[in-house]
Amino acid sequence: MAAQKTDDTAAPGTAPGAAPDVAPGVDLTGRTAVVTGALGRLGPVWAGALLGAGARVVGLDLSADVPAPLDAALDRHGHDRFLLLKADVTERADLAAALAECLSTFGPPTVLVNNAGIDQPPSADGESWRFGDIPGEVSAGILDVNALGTLRACQVFGTDMAERGHGSIVNIGSLYAGMAPDPRLYEHLAQDPPFLKPPAYGMSKAGVCALSRYLAALWGRRGVRVNTLSPGGVLGGQDRRFRELFGARTPMGRMADTTELTGPLLFLASDLSGYVTGTELLVDGGYSCW
Ligand SMILES: NC(=O)c1ccc[n+]([C@@H]2O[C@H](COP(=O)([O-])OP(=O)(O)OC[C@H]3O[C@@H](n4cnc5c(N)ncnc54)[C@H](O)[C@@H]3O)[C@@H](O)[C@H]2O)c1
């Protein structure tokens, strides 16, 4: 019989040389996950996926009214594994109180999805400014929620994970962390001044990617992985012309369905990505590859 090969890279708990012959499933049973901005468009998608994988989920948002999509997910997976707390990511004290509540209700969180964000979607009645006129407080508000809000949540929940030696943080970025919004996608909108994607949005998401790398380095040996999941264009209320233009600009020819985001989230949140940290997973249908 051939000698068993010694493998220094074997996962903890795996016999040397042994490798599973089937891919492990995503099982987050017994884990507690925190999702910020849980009540918007994508928050219920992340929360539903985590609940579906067996996790207990603590949702944080500015209000405590559960919207229909999340209610449907709770009907499927069980209301007893979900807790919604009012917490503003611009307020460190809110996050600290949420951690305390999470610890006493569900136990230590080992997954954090930093999803709370503000943007300015194109809409005929939406406010818009010429670049030189964008009020400072509008830019500062976007940076405060998207970038600093993510930092604050990592300071509170991530520090707890590092102290306990286990966790996965998924910071929600955006295609626009690494690419400029294409102004041609918005030219058909009849707005004066013309619609302008806020420059602070991409700035904030680039900061989120930088923070993921920073914390991956800081906490790499303390059992906490930190990655960015950056969606491209996600279907949800955009006008037909925008969808056509975005599709034509995308190798896969279309925008993403929200169901196509859950696999990447569960991959990063779970042990399936046990040796992945400090990276940005783009889920953009190839938008950024050409
Ligand atoms: N939807 C997309 O196409 C898309 C694409 C790329 C990236 N993203 C990112 O995904 C995340 C979610 O996007 P979405 O489309 O669901 O946005 P959304 O506006 O529908 O939801 C955002 C949620 O965050 C909450 N929120 C805002 N400020 C907060 C604060 N200070 N504290 C706590 N919660 C706060 C809002 O109340 C809302 O429920 C954002 O970070 C966004 O930048 C979205």
* Best of 62, 204, 205 for a ligand 1 pocket test (most atoms within 8 Å of beta carbon): 62
33-45 tens-digit pLDDT:
999 999 999 999 9
**pLDDT > 50? residue 26:** yes
Q: What is the per-residue pLDDT for 3? A: 36
Distance (angstroms) between ligand 1 centre and the Cα of 41 equals: 7
> What is the pLDDT averaged over residues 87-115?
98
Pocket of ligand 1 (CB under 6 A): 36-37, 39-43, 60-62, 88-90, 115-119, 145, 149, 172, 174, 231, 233-234, 236
- pTM metric for this prediction: 0.92
Average pLDDT, the chain: 91
CATH of domain 32-275: 3.40.50.720
Give the active site residues: 201
How many whole angstroms from 228 Cα to the centroid of ligand 1? Answer: 15
Contact 285, 255 (CB under 8 A): yes
Residues 64-70 have a mean pLDDT of 84
% residues pLDDT > 90 (the chain): 80
Please compute Rg for the chain using Cα positions.
20
**Residue 47 near residue 70, CB atoms below 8 Å:** yes
Q: What is the pLDDT of residue 64?
A: 84
Amino acid present at 240: R
Segment 263-284 mean pLDDT: 98
Q: Would you say residue 24 has pLDDT above 50?
A: yes
Q: If pLDDT is split at 50, 70 and 90, which confidence band does 287 have? A: very high
Calpha distance 27→93 (Å, rounded): 32
Give the domain ranges of the chain.
Answer: 32-275
In the chain the beta strands, taken as DSSP E runs, fall at 32-36, 56-61, 82-86, 111-114, 167-172, 224-231, 280-283
Whole-angstrom Cα distance, residue 74 to residue 66? 10
pLDDT of residue 14: 43
What dihedral angle (degrees, nearest 10) is formed by the CA atoms of 93, 96, 97, 103?
A: 180
Q: What is the mean pLDDT of residues 53-80?
A: 91
Atom of ligand 1 nearest to the CA of 119: 43
Q: What is the pLDDT confidence band of residue 1, given thresholds at 50, 70 and 90?
A: very low
Q: Ligand 1: which of 118, 229, 265 to mutate, judged by most atoms within 8 Å of the beta carbon?
A: 118
